[in-house]
Amino acid sequence: GENVEQHPSTLSVQEGDSAVIKCTYSDSASNYFPWYKQELGKGPQLIIDIRSNVGEKKDQRIAVTLNKTAKHFSLHITETQPEDSAVYFCAARGSNTGNQFYFGTGTSLTVIP
């Protein structure tokens, strides 16, 4: 099956700086890559996603890039704010049936005011 690796596991940035979280995947046929944000005591919530036929997608301060050749994708958060502090998960949808999801191990982001 698919294997998704995520780095770093923890990340601290000063408010206003940028944060980058990187993920790699193993199955070259995976075609959908969502990013989820999990706040303390809550379930994950989708913040942005990208399909395999797109190289980059932006939504205000958040962007995701995908390099299919290298099999890695990254989350970029610019102008970070304290409310961005949370755990972030990347995921990939496997290609065997197209319906199974594989998640990274998470990145705990702390934005220091």
Please name the residue that has the structure tokens 């990013």. 35
| 64 contacts 91 by C-beta, under 8 angstroms | no
What is the per-residue binding string for another protein in 59-98, x denoting contact by CB under 8 A? ------------------------------x-x-x-x-xx
Q: Which of 26, 62, 71, 103 binds another protein (CB under 8 A)?
A: 103
Task: Return the DSSP state at 85.
Answer: -
Cβ-based neighbour number of residue 70 at 10 Å: 8
Sign of CA dihedral 44, 107, 25, 67: positive
Query: Could you say which residues in the range 5-34 bind another protein, by CB under 8 A?
Result: 6, 31-32, 34
- The binding site for another protein (CB under 8 A) comprises 1, 6, 31-32, 34, 36, 41-46, 49, 89, 91, 93, 95, 97-106
